[in-house]
Amino acid sequence: MTSTLNNSQTRAEIRLPTSELRDDIPFFTKTLGMRMDMIYPADDPSVAVFSGHGLRLRVERDAPEAAGTIRILTDDPDGFAGGQRTLVAPNGTRVEIDELNPPMVMPETVHSFVVRRLKDQAPWIIGRAGMHYRDLVPDRLGGSIIASHIRIPDGGPVPDMVHFHKVGFQLIFCIHGWVDVVYEDQGDKMRLTAGDCFIQPPEIRHRVLEASDNVQVIEIGVPAEHVTEIDHEMDLPTPNFRPDREWQGQRFVYNKAENSEWGPFRLPGYTCRDTTIAENTKGVAGVQVVRKGQGEPVWATHDTDIHFTFVMTGEVTLEGEGRAPYRLEQGDAFVIPPGMRTKLSEPSDDVELLEVTLPGVFNTDLG
């Protein structure tokens, strides 16, 4: 609340109105546990200043503002203000008491068959740090997942800060250009190029440093709505290098496309390379890069909860039982719900797909 600029002190206050200050003093000091720092004039007080919980309030008689709302976050909401979650001060200010670190809620997946085409011209939205976002799963399967196509049109330094995400799973897969990122306890900056990917474990601190012109990545986050927090204290890179460190049971993964090994895919007619993500997330998710292989494609079903695919290059036809086929091309994405019979037919020779599944280990039935 107080900062020093050029050897001078600066304070910020929020002003709240009151009609009778004497009624507000015990509420802010005793009920909310704030400290009264100032009151005047002595003979007929009309202004009092309170501080506490990271906040400085100026309660002033007949101030023109509305009474407003104060949110107080605490790790013991049941022990604060007698366990009340909503209070109203004598001056009319609403006070909401909530958890400082609420548990992450994983919504139940609302399964649906989704096809998102680049040519449908879904709008690009300017988001955090000036990045452009395109939503690949508009219904977000009931809030269980967000899949974004992200681009930075103009290369150079990225105006990012050290931050972290309160997520259950997060994938960054580069499909064009390059981007430099630095991570907590993972050494110096790393360059993600087309075909490479990061798994960002829950709450790992990181910062995007620099990007090429028109870098593009696919970002998958679970759940869809999650909090991003800025860490103003940590400097990156950190002095420790701990590649085996786990965050909530998950390890950081930096998987490179170069020199990768290709093997059989779960579907005939295709080959794949594994990104080791299922292993390093202990089965939370799996990520495969898929290409055309030998044999003929067949009909199949799966039993995983979330099955997302993005077409990185080439073309392929997605057939769904009882539905018209979709000829998909670069930039398109689709979600197949569990139990739905589908077939990926007529792949072009240059087709390359990004498949993301949660959980990472599941069953596929052919035929």
pLDDT at 122: 74
**Is 5 a residue whose pLDDT tops 60?**
no
Asked whether the beta carbons of 155 and 176 are under 8 A apart, the reply is no
pLDDT at 312: 98
- What is the rounded distance in angstroms from the CA atom of residue 163 to the CA atom of residue 110? 30
Please name the fold of domain 2-99: 2,3-Dihydroxybiphenyl 1,2-Dioxygenase; domain 1 (3.10.180)
Question: What's the whole-number mean pLDDT along residues 326-351?
Answer: 97
Among the residue ranges 100-104, 171-175, 341-345, the one predicted with the least confidence is: 100-104
- What is the rounded distance in angstroms from the CA atom of residue 192 to the CA atom of residue 219? 13
Superfamily of chain region 263-366 = Jelly Rolls (2.60.120.10)
- What does residue 364 show for φ and ψ, rounded to 5 degrees? -125, 125
The pTM for the full model equals: 0.87
Q: Take residue 346 and report the two structure tokens written for it.
A: 């007529």
Distances (CA, A) of 187 to 112, 267, 271: 41, 38, 33
Q: How confident is the model at residue 96 (pLDDT cuts 50, 70, 90)?
A: very high
Residue among 19, 15, 75, 26 at smallest CA distance from 46: 19
Asked whether the beta carbons of 196 and 174 are under 8 A apart, the reply is yes
Q: Which residues contact 245 (CB under 8 A, 6 or more apart)?
A: 185, 251, 252
Q: Take residue 356 and report the two structure tokens written for it.
A: 């993301």
Superfamily of chain region 123-253 = Jelly Rolls (2.60.120.10)
**Is 58 a residue whose pLDDT tops 80?**
yes
- What is the rounded distance in angstroms from the CA atom of residue 213 to the CA atom of residue 160? 16
Residue among 79, 78, 60 at smallest CA distance from 68: 60
- Residue that wins the pLDDT comparison between 206 and 5: 206
**Is 288 a residue whose pLDDT tops 80?**
yes
Q: How does the average pLDDT of the chain come out, rounded?
A: 94
123-253: same fold as 2-99? no
Question: What's the whole-number mean pLDDT along residues 320-329?
Answer: 95
Among the residue ranges 29-43, 117-131, 160-174, 206-220, the one predicted with the least confidence is: 117-131
Q: Is 178 exposed, middle or buried (0-12, 13-18, 19+ CB in 10 A)?
A: middle
Asked whether the beta carbons of 10 and 54 are under 8 A apart, the reply is no
**Is 112 a residue whose pLDDT tops 60?**
yes
DSSP codes of every residue in 253-316: EEE-STT---EE-SSTTEEEEE-SHHHHTTTS-EEEEEEE-SS----EEE--SEEEEEEEESEE
Among the residue ranges 8-12, 79-83, 132-136, 169-173, the one predicted with the least confidence is: 8-12
pLDDT at 3: 57
236-262, pLDDT tens digit by residue? 999 999 999 999 999 999 999 998 899
The most distant pair of C-alpha atoms in the chain lies apart, rounded to whole Å, by 92
Eight-class DSSP state of 184 = T
- What is the rounded distance in angstroms from the CA atom of residue 27 to the CA atom of residue 33? 8
Residue ranges per domain, the chain?
2-99, 123-253, 263-366
Q: Is 311 exposed, middle or buried (0-12, 13-18, 19+ CB in 10 A)?
A: buried
Question: What's the whole-number mean pLDDT along residues 195-222?
Answer: 96
